[in-house]
Amino acid sequence: MLSVYLLRHGETQYNADGNRYCGRTDIPLTDKGIAQAQAVRLQLQGRKLDAVYSSPLKRANETAKIASGNNLVIADQRLIEIDFGTWEGKRREEFVAENPTLWNNWSEDPAHAAAGGTGENATQVVERVGSFFAEMQQKYKEGTILVVGHNGINRLFMAHKLGMPLKNYRRIVQHNSSLTFFQLDENGEFTLEKLNTTS
C-alpha cells in the first residue's frame, strides 16, 4: 500500500492578490508561503519519507524542499498545474466578465471543455496525474512519499479517485500548505484519511 502526504504549495503573490489563476506562471512563495511550508516541516518531523516529489514550478518545488527539509526533491512534469489558457493571471470575476461562455462550459463539463478556451481539459489533467501515481504505486509498493502539487490538479485527481463528477472538484478545498493524507492499494483503490490537516 502506497501512503501519500499530498500538499498544495504555500502562498504566492497571485494567491494573495485576490486569488489570480496561476497555472504555468512560475512565481515564488511569499514570506507567508515560506512560513506555511516551515509549519508543515514541523508536522512531518519524525515521519519517514521514501521520496519527495513536486511540480517543476518554483512555488511547489520550494515548498517541497522546505517542508521535507530535503533538497533532493524530484520534479515531475506530470504534477504541473493546469494550463488555464486565457484565464492565466486573472481573477475569476475578470475572465468571466470577458467571456462567460468559456466559464460556463468549464463549470458544466470540465472533462471535455478546455480551461480558458485554449488550455487543458480535466480529463487530460486526471490522466497525467493518474499516470504519476500509478508509477509511484509500482515504485513504492509499501512506501510513503510526499507530493507537492497545486490546487487544480490535486482537487481534480481526488475528485476522480473518489468517484465524483469532475465538475464537482471545486467542492474539495485545498488550503495552501495544509497536508492531505491518502493511501492507494495494489488495485489503485483510493482511501482519503485526512484533508487539510495542520496537526
**C-alpha span between 47 and 93 (Å, rounded):** 41
Q: Is 150 in the active site?
A: yes
Q: Is 9 in the active site?
A: yes
Q: What is the 3-state secondary structure (H, E, C) of 102-162?
A: HHHHHHHCCCCCCHHHCCCCHHHHHHHHHHHHHHHHHHCCCCEEEEEECHHHHHHHHHHHC
Catalytic residue among 9, 112, 160, 175: 9
**C-alpha span between 20 and 179 (Å, rounded):** 22
All three cell numbers of 61, joined, read: 518545488
What 3-state DSSP class applies to 33? helix
What 3-state DSSP class applies to 13? helix
Q: 74 to each of 50, 79, 95, 128, 146, how far by Cα in Å?
A: 12, 11, 34, 16, 10
Catalytic residue among 112, 150, 160, 175: 150
All three cell numbers of 194, joined, read: 485526512
Residues recognised as catalytic: 9, 150
